Amino acid sequence: MAAKPAILAVDDDAPVLRAVERDLRGRYASEYRVIGAGSGNEALETVRELTRRGDPVALLVVDQRMPVMSGIELLRETLTLQPAAKRVLLTAYADTDVAIRAINDIGLDHYILKPWDPPEERLYPILDDLLSDWLAAFRPAFEGLRLLAGRWAPRGHAIRDFLTRNQVPYTWLDPTEGDGARIAESLEGGADAAAPVVLLPDGGVLRDPSNRDVADAVGLSTHPALPFYDLVIVGAGPAGLAAAVYGASEGLKTLLVEREAPGGQAGTTSRIENYLGFPAGLTGADLARRALAQARRLGAEILSSQDAAGILRADPYRTIVLGDGAELSCQAAVVATGVSYRRLEVPGADALSGAGVYYGAATTEALLYRDAEVGVIGSGNSAGQAAVHLARFASRVHVLVRGTGLAESMSAYLVEQIGALENVEVHTEASVAAVHGGDHLERATVDTRTGTVELPMAAAFVFIGQQPRTAWLEGVVARDDRGFVLTGTDVANGHGWNLDREPGLLEASMPGVFVAGDVRHRSIKRIASAVGEGAMAVALVHGYLAEL
Ligand SMILES: Cc1cc2nc3c(=O)[nH]c(=O)nc-3n(C[C@H](O)[C@H](O)[C@H](O)COP(=O)(O)OP(=O)(O)OC[C@H]3O[C@@H](n4cnc5c(N)ncnc54)[C@H](O)[C@@H]3O)c2cc1C
């Protein structure tokens, strides 16, 4: 039987160590092994030993003030050994500044001021949250769903991304090596590295399945439960999830339709630093998981792997037409379909898409590129976050920037973090001219101010601007010349608006259709503003319904 994941408590003060161990065991002993260590060196040796044995460490709770090796020094040493472990520092009030700095320097997840009594209020809520985040990303070997796919198979990448972003635990195995090869051999007809096979816990086998097939098999709901809803929301990024939370909590029968995975762009982010209320930042996957759980708890229904293909007006109702032809009737709709990454248009990029060339998928794929050289193309915050995340795994990260520096387009905190990372190299005034490889990306040709260079590159993560996802709204609602949807005063004059009231603030040119988040003309492209607009859209829906 696999060993329980470990929680490590470290303090050089014996009575304090006993108290931490007692409190940790009191709550977590049934699920975790609580191990105590009386010094940084002893703790480091324990982490090394656990890592050698392949045993996961879920959480490190470490005192800052220890002789020889401080808490932060210890946590830094453990970063490469157990990168996924959550890190908590026990500090005195006087060390608060040190702890806040450590959030940036070593990715500290939280700090707790001593004493932490009562633990029910000051210790457990923080650790419960961190452990549930850790657990969501932790995949014990050979339990649950297994994906058999060649490392470079584009469909394999697409299914890995789909499962990860929908928070379905799975184990990925390469059919050409080790256990993967043994399982492939045991399958009737074998397994082809290019055509993924999904092995379900009940023994079922899906060969080269679509995302929709996988969604059906793992129990994600792909068909609506009701014939009619008060509110249908299209797109489950931060804007759509917020609308679902507010709609459902305020008594509207609410359905949320998502074609890929909840969380949208925010769900692909390795670290969100600027969302209010999370001082140590949080991953996009954690934000998406929490928001989804909240929307479900409040009664919203979520339809997965389904895309909206049109909206029909049948006053006073609106009908959302889905990609498979099904129709959903509702009183009002919120469009929150966000934006998607622009494609890299250079020779080789299309052929290698999903086989080394990835669009905004740095979190799903990062682990596969341990000790490899990778590229990040782009200079915005999303590129910066990806570079910082990848630097934890890759041997070298080449950041390719068209401009003369990062500061023009990236937040200062990220520029600072990148500057401090020895394995990140920023190439300015550089643009990719071509990418090369056989069945996977191997190198890139890069034009720079001083000439053309060839860079070894096992993966290129592309973050080069975005476009709205509104082709499906052509002829349905008015859009600007880039495709963003017009709302409020921008549709008031013309655009077919003929009611004797002004359109609501977030209302599109079709009455009863509201727009929230990045997809809206002139919106602020931030998580907080998308969440705010999702909440506002529901308030406007109430006003609209009251006047029907
Ligand atoms: C890598 C990265 C890092 C970022 N980091 C930060 C950050 O640190 N802080 C910050 O404030 N902002 C950040 N942003 C920006 C932020 O993520 C976006 O502003 C925010 O996600 C917009 O939310 P949204 O709900 O409007 O759209 P999106 O997040 O784009 O979500 C739209 C959703 O709609 C779905 N969809 C699209 N079309 C359809 C359809 N026809 N039918 C059904 N579903 C559909 C999509 O699959 C998607 O899930 C980052 C963005 C990226 C890409």
**Per-residue three-class SS string for 10-38:** ECCCHHHHHHHHHHHHHHHCCCCEEEEEC
Give the per-residue pLDDT at 361: 67
Torsional sign, CA 326, 332, 338, 343: positive
Copy the structure tokens of residue 116.
């932490």
Give the per-residue pLDDT at 493: 75
Measure 544 CA to ligand 1 centroid, in angstroms: 26
Neighbour count for residue 176 (Cβ, 10 Å): 12
Could you tell which of 527, 533, 536, 538 is best to mutate to test the pocket of ligand 1, judged by most ligand atoms within 8 Å of the CB? Answer: 527
Measure 237 CA to ligand 1 centroid, in angstroms: 5
The residue whose CA has the least distance to atom 17 of ligand 1 is 266
CB distance 254 to 229 below 8 Å: yes
CB distance 255 to 330 below 8 Å: yes
CB distance 335 to 508 below 8 Å: yes
Q: Which amino acid appears at position 29 of this protein?
A: A
What is residue 276's DSSP assignment?
A: T
State CA 371 to chain mean position distance.
23
Give the per-residue pLDDT at 86: 96
Give the per-residue pLDDT at 155: 93
Copy the structure tokens of residue 119.
């633990």
Closest ligand 1 atom to 241 CA: 25
| Collapsed DSSP state (helix, strand, coil) of residue 282 | strand
Q: Where are the beta strands (DSSP E) in 239-372?
A: 254-257, 301-303, 308-314, 317-322, 327-335, 339-341, 357-359
CB distance 336 to 258 below 8 Å: no
Task: Indicate whether this model's pTM tops 0.85.
Answer: no
Alpha carbon distance 390, 367 (integer Å): 8
The residue whose CA has the least distance to atom 47 of ligand 1 is 260
Q: What are phi and psi of 190, to 5 degrees?
A: 65, -160
Q: Which residues line ligand 1 (CB under 6 A)?
A: 234-240, 257-260, 264-266, 268-269, 272-274, 307-308, 336-339, 360, 381-382, 385, 469, 472, 517-519, 525-528, 530
Measure 112 CA to ligand 1 centroid, in angstroms: 32
The residue whose CA has the least distance to atom 7 of ligand 1 is 272
**Residues forming beta bridges with residue 257, ordered by sequence position:** 234, 303
H-assigned helices in 334-440: 362-365, 381-390, 412-419
Closest C-alpha to 421, from 385, 453, 367 = 385
The residue whose CA has the least distance to atom 30 of ligand 1 is 338
Which uninterrupted H or E stretch holds 316? none
Could you tell which of 265, 379, 382 is best to mutate to test the pocket of ligand 1, judged by most ligand atoms within 8 Å of the CB? Answer: 265
Give the per-residue pLDDT at 360: 77
Closest C-alpha to 437, from 514, 349, 376, 364 = 349
Measure 518 CA to ligand 1 centroid, in angstroms: 7
**Under 8 Å CB-to-CB from 389, ≥6 apart: which residues?**
270, 271, 362, 363, 366
Q: Which amino acid appears at position 527 of this protein?
A: I
Give the per-residue pLDDT at 35: 97
Closest ligand 1 atom to 528 CA: 11
Q: Which amino acid appears at position 338 of this protein?
A: G
- From residue 389, alpha-carbon distances to 261, 269, 396, 421 in Å are 21, 9, 12, 11
Task: Give every residue of the chain whose pLDDT is below 70, as ranges.
Answer: 1-2, 139-143, 361-362
Measure 465 CA to ligand 1 centroid, in angstroms: 13
- How many residues in the chain? 548
Alpha carbon distance 231, 332 (integer Å): 5
Measure 238 CA to ligand 1 centroid, in angstroms: 7
Give the per-residue pLDDT at 193: 78
Alpha carbon distance 364, 281 (integer Å): 18
Alpha carbon distance 367, 364 (integer Å): 7
